[in-house]
Chains A and B, each alone.
Chain A
Amino acid sequence: MELFRLTIKQAQEVVRKTPKQAGELLQALTKRIGQVDSKLKAYVRFNPNHIQLPKRSDQNAPLLGIPISVKDNMVTQDWETTCGSKILKGFVPPYDATVIKKLKEAGATIFGKCNMDEFAFGSSCETSCFGPTRNPWNVDCVPGGSSGGSAAAVASDTAIAALGSDTGGSIRQPASFCGVVGLKPTYGRVSRYGLVAFGSSLDQIGPITKTVEDAAILLNVIAGHDECDSTSADIPVPDYTSFLGKNVKGLKIGLPKEYFAEGLNPQVERKVKEAITVLRDLGAGCVEVSLPYMKYAVAVYYVVAVAEASSNLGRFDGVQYGLRAENSNLRDMYFETRNQGFGAEAKRRILLGTFVLSAGYYDAYYLKGLKVRTLIKQDFDRVFEKVDLILGPTSPTPAFKVGELTSDPLAMYLSDIYTISANLAGIPAMSIPCGFSRDGVTPPLPIGLQLMAKPFEEGTIFRAASAYEQATKWYEQKPKL
């Protein structure tokens, strides 16, 4: 098999057996990028010269010699980090994010920085200042967002695996659109230190991989308490690979009726229902449940997330780093730097977030949002008293066309309707491939299945996802590039 097609698991074995294969692996990926990335634009930066060749003493490092790509909102020491924004052009961080440190300590090479929606504001990877990333299955379509670059890289085999970040679905929705595995861990499971903040109470870093097993391997490396992140949980990290290959007999799966209501694409519905049948056949018990407040999730999100974002993005002012519109007047420098540096979607969210926090509107919008967030969380608490997992589609539709939703921000926001509530409740959720949508004319587009669990029970997700994946092997299908 071509080296660039390897999973983490396979690459571990190859490099362990023949350490110099690590260099060849890197070359293979670099070549692959040269062949396909001009069409996809999954990468904004990659670095073939920094591979850490395995050392004897590192033999136990789990990611020894394995290149990992990361979304360009995780800061990398001495390596430009831009979040897809013009305003961060030239920003070279003096430190590594905790996840980057952990990857390096595990022997990985930080191979490339992936494209993303500007500051992770988007569901299509179209708001990046570097231009849109394309879907490897159909380059007329978006890869999803905001971690579209990471998902497209993994799907197109220009990355062995990647990290994304998820504030309202930004790992799961692109994983679903690109036919790969994407996990948003429990809030607090992975350190946010060094992740350029969007919605601080919602953001979480997670793996985007070719297989469920790879996601478990990668989560093992990045999860855990970090004393630099006050919101990181000091809870032991289990070996997530220990949940793989187990059966799902007796597992109780809840199917929220709100996830199968109006607005769901029929092909997506069919594929998700087929997946339910597969899991039933494997021994899982499926029951209908209800999450009545889920329909308010998008509204809550566009209050809470944008409020936090408007504050988080204040620091981009041209004083210390990144873009500065030079001016002899301080006020004009601020106004011009920010107006030139931010794209339309960033401006939209900054203004919206400022409005919901402003004097006279705080209670009606922001406080209201926080209260409805409580109701949404209580929905999940109640349902999880009865079931181990919640299952539904990741996204209401397969990947849409580039440009299809850019003129209608609200329609774009609504494409995250199934993913946002997991962020609001802080629970772990994964998207795994469950088939393809076919119209007989255009190339088939992947469909994703979403599994959600109680806080810190990623293991239960791995157990079910692994069983389903082994029964269906959708990952064997590759886009034609």
Chain B
Amino acid sequence: MSQKFDIQQLAELVRLNLKPDERAKLSRDLEKILAYVEQLQTLETDQVQPTSHVLQIENVFRKDIVKPSKVRESVLKYAPKRSNQFFKVPKVIEET
């Protein structure tokens, strides 16, 4: 079966460090599922509008009003790593 996808590239996009055996297994699964999904291609849908939202709701707004939530401490308390009022991550290298 010809593969449409590059499992390595997909894993790179979604930040998964797949191990070789995982890669092989997931590739097979994806191929099988995509082959099943392929049946959609038999349908003629040129005149059909896509449905992103099943309800016909529109124009839902909120007013421009400030309401402080005061969650900072309770979020930082459980953060994997913090430094005072900041979340802390490994060094982000912006320049090379």
Contact = CB atoms under 8 A, between A and B. Distances in A.
Contact of B45 (A231, A332, A355, A375): A375
Contacts of A481: none
A260 interface: no
A31 B55 CA distance: 44
Contacts of B45: 368, 371-372, 375
B55 to A, nearest CB: 5
B51 A187 contact: no
Contacts of B33: 302, 348, 352, 409-410, 413
Interface string B24-60: 0110011011101101110101001111111101001
B96 interface: no
Interface residues of B, number: 53
B36 A410 contact: yes
Contact of B90 (A330, A339, A342): A330
B74 interface: yes
A187 B55 contact: yes
A264 interface: no
Contacts of B22: 344, 347
Contacts of A234: 57
A370 B26 contact: no
A333 B10 contact: no
Return the 10 tightest CB-CB contacts between A and B, nearest first.
Answer: A426-B54, A370-B50, A324-B80, A335-B17, A94-B74, A94-B71, A371-B45, A339-B17, A230-B60, A371-B48
Contacts of A187: 54-55
Interface of B: 4-5, 7, 10-11, 13-19, 22, 25-26, 29-30, 32-34, 36-37, 39-41, 43, 45, 48-55, 57, 60, 62, 69, 71, 74-75, 77-81, 87, 89-93
B92 A330 contact: yes
A299 B45 CA distance: 15
B26 A347 contact: yes
A46 interface: no
A310 B14 contact: yes
A354 B14 contact: yes
A320 B75 contact: yes
A330 B37 contact: no
A299 B39 contact: yes
Interface in A226-246: 227, 230-231, 233-234
A299 B14 CA distance: 22
A328 interface: yes
B34 to A, nearest CB: 8
Which of B30, B34, B62, B77 has the largest count of A CB atoms less than 10 A from its CB? B34
Interface of A: 78, 90-92, 94-95, 187-188, 201, 227, 230-231, 233-234, 296, 298-300, 302-303, 310, 314, 317-324, 326-330, 332-336, 338-339, 342, 344, 347-348, 350-352, 354-355, 358, 361, 364-365, 367-375, 377, 409-410, 413, 424-426, 455
A75 to B, nearest CB: 12
A373 B30 contact: no
B28 to A, nearest CB: 10
A455 B53 CA distance: 13
29 contacts: A91-B78, A92-B77, A94-B71, A188-B57, A201-B52, A230-B57, A231-B53, A299-B37, A299-B40, A300-B40, A319-B87, A328-B90, A328-B91, A332-B17, A338-B16, A342-B16, A344-B25, A350-B14, A350-B16, A351-B10, A351-B11, A368-B40, A368-B45, A370-B51, A371-B50, A374-B48, A374-B50, A409-B32, A410-B33
Given A321-B79, A327-B90, A347-B22, 18 more contacts: A230-B57, A298-B36, A302-B36, A320-B75, A321-B78, A322-B80, A324-B81, A332-B17, A333-B90, A339-B18, A348-B26, A351-B10, A370-B51, A372-B40, A374-B48, A374-B50, A375-B43, A426-B54
A230 B62 CA distance: 9
B14 A314 contact: yes
A425 B54 contact: yes
A61 B31 CA distance: 53
A95 B60 CA distance: 23
Nearest to A90: B78
Q: Of residues A187, A230, A314, A329, which shows the largest number of chain B Cβ atoms within 10 Å of its Cβ?
A: A230
B36 to A, nearest CB: 6
Contact of A355 (B19, B30, B74): B30
A188 B53 CA distance: 10
Contacts of B16: 335, 338-339, 342, 347, 350-351
Contact of B89 (A91, A319, A351): A319
Contacts of A371: 43, 45, 48-51
Given A330-B90, A336-B17, A371-B49, A358 B10 contact: yes
